[in-house]
Amino acid sequence: MITPTPATANLTLGIVGNCVVSALIDRHARFVWCCLPSYDGDPVFCSLLAGAQTDESRGFLACDVDRLVSSDQRYVANTAVLSTTLTDADGQSVEIIDFAPRFKRYERIFRPRQLVRRIEPRSGGCRIRIRIRPCADYGATTPMTRLGSNHIRYLSDGGGIRVTTDMPVAYIDQEQWFLIDRPLTLIIGQDEVVASAVDGLAASLLARTVDYWLEWTRYLSVPFEWQDAVIRAAITLKLCSFEETGAIVAAMTTSIPEASGTTRNWDYRYCWLRDSYFVVQALNRLGATRTMEDFIRYITNVAALAPDERLKPVYAIVPGVTMSERIAPGLAGYRAMGPVRVGNLAEAQVQNDSYGNVVLAAAQMFFDRRLPRPGDLGLYRRLEMLGDWAARTAFEPDAGLWEFRERSRTHTHSSVMCWAACDRLGKIARVLGLADRDEYWRAHASRLRREILARAWNAQQNSFVDSFDGEQVDASLLLLHEVGFLSPTDPRFLGTLANVERQLRQGRHMFRYVAPDDFGQPTTSFLICTFWYIDALAAVGRREEAREILEDTLSCRNHLGLLSEDIDPVSGELWGNFPQTYSMVGLIVSAMRLSKSWEEAFWRGS
């Protein structure tokens, strides 16, 4: 009998979820990260952050196969249902199906706080062992176990989870090997009774969940090329939305470091207004506009919390809940690279680009005729309040989109996004027939644009720079054409692109900046910046070069097509929180921009 050896923690992980709960599952079908009751909750499965190796003592749910020799993992096509096939030395295998139920019922979406695991013998009879070792209080405590006739409860001071099953509870409790000769089921969730027969319930939940995702992906307006990559990215973005409030989290994890040996460890289980704008933009391009509508509902509630105060750059998934940053001593960190942080200090930062991000995210509401509830005068008035803040704060120093903790400057990107807020409010006013407001916002946009052109341009470098009267560049300058501040054919943008390439490009990867910051000099590439670079190349006519870099970047995805935040440009290893919405957004936008059209590729046969 061979007990599986713990592997070094890595990001060859899959995600399952239903837009209220999720889990990260490794190639051996271990739950290594799962927070309950929602994305920002206590991680009941947390071995991903438990030390130098995937901790075999706590924080996981495993289905071990005796004498395991191979693992094959894939998603059921066009769904969020994950299949892992484990094969033993005799060629006998089991298929493990993981999913979170999601489907339409009673004219609304049914999405319980549950995860379902189906274990089915595929050839012969494997010996398996089920081990369930949850944690509580961010790894600090171990829950008490209470056995029932068909379930096990794991109870802690903060609550508990219940695992309901049709397999012998004693085998699970004692972690003993047994022969699997029929399909078995685990239903994992909060401490609530499952009243139905487990096997039939799980089969029904699986079938209806598969049908839901197939229907959802069916209506995506995907590009002709790179369809599988785009569909997987779109499903992942959908899973990162918290549908109860409309929030969109930046990633499902906390404190996976941006690079080996660094303390750049942050909690990304919250809703950044900037990241959310990019997610909304990408899903809108695919025709999935519901996330935009939900996010507008979220930001409306956020703004109502403190209508006379600045927008924060980031909020909890339930608006109004505090997210003060602290260290979780019960977890050693990803590969023991602590600290593990809970909460995020960025909540208290000034980041003036937030106003532009919200206005741009909402702008399509006023132009898209498909929407059952388009933007109206009430929404416009609320957006104007944010525009007033943008007009006032456009040139005030802030932490910038890179969230510097120890310095403040007038960042070019922040000022440009304030301009974008005023510019779009003028365009929306024209749609609504508000001539006076159009004139008002155009005047503000013109004033801001003149100042940005004068203060953010560095004539010696023939380039815009990252801050007013500055000397450095950052990758956000690649977005000047994307938000409409400059035409891609403008010599000033071409000069900026050349300067950014010269200073920030390393091989096929783009760094966000290279100047030392609060934590030293960055050593990994920020993946979204490479996608911004790809888009800029396409915009200036360097499409073949852009396509080559896109293909290279797609090859950096993990085995399931997912990306984290960062990548080591030398080793190609993924780093940073996972899965990262920014990165998946970049994939979608770049693929749609560079793909041949359906007419060109399919009908004309080119």
Residue 409, helix vs strand vs coil: strand
Q: Which pLDDT does position 353 carry in this prediction? A: 97
Q: What is the pLDDT of residues 514-524, one digit of tens each?
A: 988 888 889 99
Nearest 5°: the CA angle 50, 55, 61 is 105
Q: What is the pLDDT of residues 151-193, one digit of tens each?
A: 999 999 888 999 999 999 999 999 999 999 999 999 999 888 9
| Helix or strand run (H / E) with residue 450 | helix 435-455
Beta-bridge mates of residue 86: 71, 94
Whose tokens are 């888009």? That residue is 535
* pLDDT mean across residues, the chain: 94
Quick check: 16 and 22 in contact, CB under 8 A?
yes
Q: Which pLDDT does position 158 carry in this prediction? A: 80
Quick check: 482 and 475 in contact, CB under 8 A?
no
Q: Report CA dihedral (46, 50, 55, 59) to the nearest 10 degrees.
A: -30
Quick check: 509 and 525 in contact, CB under 8 A?
yes
Say if domain 219-603 classifies as CATH 2.70.98.10. no
Preceding omega of 569 cis (within 30 degrees of 0): no
Q: What is the pLDDT of residues 361-407, one digit of tens each?
A: 999 999 988 888 899 999 999 999 999 999 999 999 999 999 998 88
For the chain, which residues make up each domain, given as ranges? 13-217, 219-603
Alpha helix (H) residue ranges in 477-580: 491-504, 527-539, 543-554
φ, ψ of residue 115 to 5 degrees: the values are: -125, 140
Lowest-pLDDT range, 236-245, 361-370, 463-472, 542-551?
A: 361-370
Nearest 5°: the CA angle 303, 307, 312 is 55
Q: Which pLDDT does position 4 carry in this prediction? A: 41
CATH number for the domain whose boundaries are 13-217: 2.70.98.10
| Distance from C-alpha of 13 to C-alpha of 94, rounded to nearest angstrom | 19
Give the sign of the dihedral formed by CA 550, CA 551, CA 556, CA 558: positive
Beta-bridge mates of residue 22: 17
Can you say how many angstroms the Cα of residue 487 is from the centroid of all Cα atoms in its chain?
30
φ, ψ of residue 51 to 5 degrees: the values are: 155, -165
Closest residue by Cα to residue 146 from 155, 137, 135, 138: 155
Closest residue by Cα to residue 364 from 373, 356, 374, 355: 374
Residue 186, helix vs strand vs coil: strand
**85 has a pLDDT exceeding 60:** yes
Q: What is the pLDDT of residues 9-66, one digit of tens each?
A: 899 999 999 999 999 999 999 999 999 999 999 999 999 999 865 556 889 999 999 9
| Distance from C-alpha of 499 to C-alpha of 279, rounded to nearest angstrom | 28
Q: Which residues contact 525 (CB under 8 A, 6 or more apart)?
A: 506, 509, 510, 511, 566, 567, 568, 569
Residue 167 CB neighbour total at 10 angstroms: 19
Q: Could you tell me the pTM of the whole model? A: 0.96
Instruction: Find the length of the chain.
Output: 606
Residue range 347-368: mean pLDDT, rounded: 94
Residue range 542-555: mean pLDDT, rounded: 98
Q: Which pLDDT does position 2 carry in this prediction? A: 35
Quick check: 331 and 46 in contact, CB under 8 A?
yes
